[in-house]
Structure 1
Amino acid sequence: MPALPAPYGLYVYAIAGPDTAAHAKRCRAVGDANASVSVVGRDGLAAVVSPVSGRPRARRRDLSAHQEVLRVLADHGAVLPMRFGVIAPDADTVLAGLDAARPTHLAALERLAGKAEWNLKGVHVPDALPDLLREDASLRALRESTRRRPGYEANVRLGEAVAVGLQRRAEQAAADVVAQLRPLAAEFSEGRDITGGALNASFLVPHTAATAFRRAVDALADRHRGRITLTLTGPLPCYSFVPADPVPAAV
């Protein structure tokens, strides 16, 4: 059990199997410069933790340390990641949280084994107006009307119609992208809406399918060039495919 500075607290990074968790012990800890990463667990389940003397702020150093621990863990096995800033009062609380949801945690680790999260975002292409006009006769008519009778209200209507049209084209492309990629993933999760975006989704992809998945994204980006711009990020910790609070007792 790690030694704790006052006030006592444990920063919780993730839950993993003991063998996987042990690989994080050489990582830099969040918060206190002299703190070390350690493992709290029993009976085949472990939490990766480090002592803290206060609630860490979202500084670059600490965010980087948190992500590095998760990266190292993910390189060696399945991980249930915690969001940045989760602190438990003591090791007993962490152990109680592990015990209370042991079947759920073990099932989740088994489900995530050999897989990683890939996030895909898509935004409409702002300079695709010529393509939009070729496809949309009503928009062409509105633009001609605005040219004949220019004015503030006419320009606003045209601008709104263009924005709606670009978004519609991007959303149509996004639907095709998701339909093509879902068979390559074990699971799929829709993310929060993003400004100017038509797609924000995460895919749980087996490591053995990662290359095929990336190639499929590249092919779809080419297919829908001019409708949507795709940005793929990964592999990532599986935040979108684990319970919101893997350690329910943490505070």
Structure 2
Amino acid sequence: MSTTADAGAPTAHRPASGAWLHGVVREVDPAALAGLVGMDGRDVRAVRSAGLVAVVSDAPLAEYGEEPLRRKLEDLSWLEGAARAHHGVVEALSRTGAVVPARLATVHRDADRVAAVLAEREAELTAALDRLTGRTEWGVKGYVVPGAPAAEEEPPATGGGGAGAAYLRRRRAQLTAREQGQRIAAEAAATVHDALAQYAVAARRHAAQDRRLSGAPTAMVLNGAYLVDVAALDGFTELVRMLAGRHPQVRLELTGPWPPYSFVAERPAEEAHQVREPAW
């Protein structure tokens, strides 16, 4: 096993430094890493082993050991910044070719351990890189369109009871219409997802985001991820456009390209100091 990692035992002059893992690639140009900034503004570096390259940031264990990291992950402000820094490196790697992104907060005890993981999982990681080569992840989100044509509306109910009863009937009719609209939008979203999944190489349907997270004025009914061949991208985007016209009950939003977070198998990494399990 060969590795360029320099991670000897800690000394009195050099405290123990873990390795925050960003992702794995087949190869990387050192010039491409020169301008990248990882965790806490630190430079990123390559750890080579078994014909693979892991890109890491130094992560002192006094700050990123299991207990300190657990406390950090409870700080939403820190977590947002960490996610942004981690994603920035993964996104830059994805622009140079296939990348197997590590899940957020995957910290190994040192670079030697990272190299060992590359050797242990060479076949698995190589197969993942083969599967992701020439493909990118795209997201399609769908939101309810209020008042979109769906089904023939029933005539308003009539009857006595005065102004109070009339108000209750109107309110009941409004709630019924809203529920029906959301149901029909959900059915349309399922149809859209099935059509996109048949076109894509692989597809995942994630849980819909709450409006407080999505920032959208109406409910999300589709949160799909699709692995698409680069050569087939024009056809995929045209299919999204066509489906949007065919299903006016749902407003579709295409996002991407993204690193293939949704299409990396979940697997814990032995001896990694982390709270959340990594993607591999």
- TM-score range normalised by the length of the shorter chain: 0.7 to 0.9
Could you give the per-residue CA deviations for residues 208-233 of structure 1, whole angstroms, max 9, x where no partner exists?
A: 111221122122222222x0011111
Specify whether residues 23 and 156 from structure 1 end up closer, same or farther in structure 2 by C-alpha distance, changes over 3 A only.
Answer: same
1:27 aligns with 2:36: yes
2:160 and 2:25 map into 1 onto residues whose CA distance is 63
1:89 and 1:101 map into 2 onto residues whose CA distance is 17
In structure 2, what is the equivalent of residue 228 of structure 1? 250
Q: Is the Cα contact below 8 Å between 2:43 and 2:57 reproduced in 1?
A: yes
Q: Which amino acid aligns with 1:175?
A: A
Specify whether residues 83 and 156 from structure 1 end up closer, same or farther in structure 2 by C-alpha distance, changes over 3 A only.
Answer: farther
How many percent identity over aligned positions?
A: 30
**After the TM superposition, which residues 4-19 of structure 1 pair with which residues of structure 2 at under 5 Å, given as runs?**
6-19=15-28
**After the TM superposition, which residues 25-174 of structure 1 pair with which residues of structure 2 at under 5 Å, given as runs?**
25-31=34-40, 33=41, 35-53=42-60, 54-55=63-64, 57-60=78-81, 62-128=82-148, 131-132=149-150, 135-137=151-153, 140-141=154-155, 143-144=156-157, 149-152=165-168, 154=169, 157-174=172-189
What displacement does 1:184 show? 2.5
* Aligned pair partner of 1:239 in 261, 269, 280: 261
Could you give the per-residue CA deviations for residues 147-169 of structure 1, whole angstroms, max 9, x where no partner exists?
A: 974355x5564344223211122
Q: Which amino acid aligns with 2:227?
A: L
Could you give the per-residue CA deviations for residues 89-131 of structure 1, whole angstroms, max 9, x where no partner exists?
A: 1112212222222211111110111001111111111243xx3
Q: Is the Cα contact below 8 Å between 1:82 and 1:245 reproduced in 2?
A: no
Q: Which amino acid aligns with 1:23?
A: A
Q: Which amino acid aligns with 1:8?
A: S
What displacement does 1:58 show? 2.2
1:77 and 1:146 map into 2 onto residues whose CA distance is 68
Q: Which amino acid aligns with 1:239?
A: Y
Could you give the per-residue CA deviations for residues 185-215 of structure 1, whole angstroms, max 9, x where no partner exists?
A: 1111111133422211111001111122112
Give the CA RMSD over aligned residues: 2.7
Q: Which amino acid aligns with 2:26?
A: G
Specify whether residues 246 and 39 from structure 1 end up closer, same or farther in structure 2 by C-alpha distance, changes over 3 A only.
Answer: farther
Q: Which runs of 5+ in 1 are unaligned?
A: none
1:23 and 1:247 map into 2 onto residues whose CA distance is 27
2:160 and 2:123 map into 1 onto residues whose CA distance is 67
1:2 and 1:159 map into 2 onto residues whose CA distance is 67
1:95 and 1:146 map into 2 onto residues whose CA distance is 77
What displacement does 1:8 show? 1.7
Of residues 14-23 and 197-206 in structure 1, the stretch that sits farther from structure 2 once superposed is 14-23
Specify whether residues 156 and 82 from structure 1 end up closer, same or farther in structure 2 by C-alpha distance, changes over 3 A only.
Answer: farther
In structure 2, what is the equivalent of residue 193 of structure 1? 208
Q: Which runs of 5+ in 2 are unaligned?
A: 65-71, 73-77, 211-218, 274-280
Of residues 115-124 and 75-84 in structure 1, the stretch that sits farther from structure 2 once superposed is 75-84
In structure 1, what is the equivalent of residue 242 of structure 2? 219
Q: Is the Cα contact below 8 Å between 1:82 and 1:246 reproduced in 2?
A: no
2:271 and 2:30 map into 1 onto residues whose CA distance is 19
- The count of aligned residue pairs is 239
1:220 and 1:124 map into 2 onto residues whose CA distance is 14
